[in-house]
Structure 1
Amino acid sequence: MAGNSRRQGAMRKPGTKKGMVKGSGGQRRRGLEGKGPTPKAEDRPGHKAHRVANAQARRSAATTKDKPANELIAGRNPVVECLRARIPATALYVALGIDADDRVAEAVRLAADRGISVLEVSRPELDRLTQGAMHQGLGLQVPPFEYAHPDDLLAASGQTDEPPLLVALDGVTDPRNLGAVIRSAAAFGANGVLLPQRRSAGMTAVAWRTSAGTAAKIPVAVATNLTRELRSLAAKGLMIVGLDADGTMDIDELTLATGPLVVVVGSEGRGLSRLVREACDATVSIPMAAGVESLNASVATSVVLAEVARRRRVEGRT
């Protein structure tokens, strides 16, 4: 019978015979691998708890920027200006053997009055802390800026009798412009400033200094997706107006100023991005003399916010 021959080459090697094998069930037993304990609800995709956890993670990410843990404001004049403006600070570094003048004396006095630590360090150490900046023997350490959540901006507007007024920045990457915008927003009664998560300046030491301390008085929030956040604000009843050189109206026709409003300011070079422009209800331009191409972001913001504040004052008298 085939398969039973004793001739060489006609007999299968042991262990290769097909058919029943005692104790194997006809084939090699396959070990079952356990999948471990059941994952928690928040770790199971598709579960409601998983979606809630992801939403909370996105909210947390939206309130942070990838910035150093601490920054140092360098230079005698900048340090004194920040201390006068009562910018939050954790330490004042003074170089050993510094040639003291009125600014150094005032910086030390203001820091001591506010309970800020005054630390003497060597010049090489201060060079390292300020990353080689022109510190003139003084450096002021400021803590990381605490960003608000976008929802907090409307909450802040509810504390006043005026309609909400917010400023949103689309790709403004110069921290000096950011600081100046925040200063203007505070001066003209805005309720907060909204920044995109990416391609935007953050609240660095330079922005702090330019804002002259007003960043401590007005909430600054970060949106993971600026376009989506603008549409969300529009759904809540706010009108979205973008600054644009080729706007659909000029500033003299800005009748929307007296209602709930978001003023969107584009980047220094390319202006508003396409998606942000599409999210705007209108775009406004600032008339200028011939031969002048444009204003930088912070100046343009100041002009529009001043007009908004003027129109609201006039309406309040009528």
Structure 2
Amino acid sequence: MARKGHRPSKAPASRPRFWGRHAVSAALANPERTVRKLWATREGMSGIDVPASVPVTFADVADLGRLVPADAPHQGLVAEVDPLEDTWLGDLLQQGAGEGDNRPLLVLDQVTDPHNVGAILRSAAAFDALGIVTQDRHSPPESGALARAASGALEIVPWVRVVNLARALEEIAEANFWRIGLAGEAPETLATAIGKARVALVLGAEGEGMRHNTAQHCDQLARLPISSRMESLNVSNAAAIALYAVAARDHAGD
């Protein structure tokens, strides 16, 4: 049954802290996000729209630096937030079921680096992807580093966490997505594999690539046509290129 899941209440110590203008302002603007506290310099508050319900503590740069990891570029803004409510795969697939909706879906197989996932979310927002799907136990939690890398996209791109990725890929297939796994050893390039169907792009973990069982649940494997001088690309770069390839197909006649 398609439904929204609710996370249990978090203890204050487990709430993530976001920093930087893009991450904090996007969190404040997201009606689905609860911002518990905001620390800011007076300069950092310039141009930031803060709801009256959010308590603000003014502090100097050094004080803010003690609230976040060493050398984090907080730009005079630090926010403590509640994690977003879970999004369920059935709900996401239902959103993309409308006629003419050709938005791609991204599936990440044990991509654990928060900077990579944040960068992938940013590319997903830039190319209007339907959302991303990850395995719950093998993906990073919401964090300041991830939100910073996402540059606001964490607040606007649906993120589904699933227990069983293979089962999720079966559900994605039932929703009429053509599942393309990116693999450097594949004989066919992504450009020729895309075709005209709705696409789910499946990307494997940093270094190891897709697991065998994940590849078995793809309809087709394809590679990016990179030079033989380079063995592979960072997963976030590969995701951006793959999303561009889908966008180029969809806008070929524009």
TM-score by length of 1: 0.67
Partner of 1:13: none
Give yes or no for the alignment of 1:71 onto 2:8: no
Partner of 1:279: 217
Identity %: 27
Q: Displacement, 1:126? A: 5.9
Aligned with 1:80 (options 14, 21, 40): 21
Q: Displacement, 1:240? A: 0.9
**Residues 1:140 and 1:153: Cα distance change in structure 2 (over 3 Å):** same
Partner of 1:211: 150
Preserved CA contact (<8 Å) 2:107 2:200: yes
Q: Structure with the greater relative contact order (CA < 8 A, sep ≥ 6): 1 or 2?
A: 2
SS at match of 2:184: coil
Q: Displacement, 1:241? A: 0.6
Q: Displacement, 1:144? A: 1.1
Mapped partners of 2:5, 2:144: distance in 1: 23
Partner of 1:91: 37
Structure 1 gaps, min length 5: 1-51, 95-103
Which structure is higher in helix share? Answer: 1
**Residues 1:204 and 1:189: Cα distance change in structure 2 (over 3 Å):** same
Structure 1 counterpart of 2:245, which letter? E
Preserved CA contact (<8 Å) 2:26 2:155: no
Mapped partners of 1:125, 1:106: distance in 2: 14
Q: Displacement, 1:218? A: 2.0
Q: Displacement, 1:242? A: 0.6
Structure 2 gaps, min length 5: none
Partner of 1:253: 192
Mapped partners of 1:164, 1:80: distance in 2: 28
SS at match of 1:155: helix
Preserved CA contact (<8 Å) 1:169 1:196: yes
Mapped partners of 2:127, 2:146: distance in 1: 19
Q: Displacement, 1:121? A: 6.3
Structure 1 counterpart of 2:17, which letter? L
Mapped partners of 2:119, 2:58: distance in 1: 32
Mapped partners of 2:98, 2:42: distance in 1: 40
Question: How many residues of Structure 1 are paired with residues of Structure 2 in the alignment?
Answer: 244
Q: Displacement, 1:211? A: 1.4
Mapped partners of 1:159, 1:175: distance in 2: 32
Mapped partners of 1:91, 1:212: distance in 2: 20
- Runs of 4+ in structure 1 deviating by more than 3 angstroms, as ranges, are 66-69, 83-90, 109-116, 120-138
Q: Displacement, 1:206? A: 1.7
Mapped partners of 2:109, 2:239: distance in 1: 12
The two structures, once aligned, show a CA RMSD in angstroms of 3.2
Preserved CA contact (<8 Å) 2:193 2:222: yes
Cα offsets for 1:142-180 (capped at 9, x unmatched):
221223011121122135622352111001111111111
Give yes or no for the alignment of 1:162 onto 2:123: no
TM-score by length of 2: 0.82
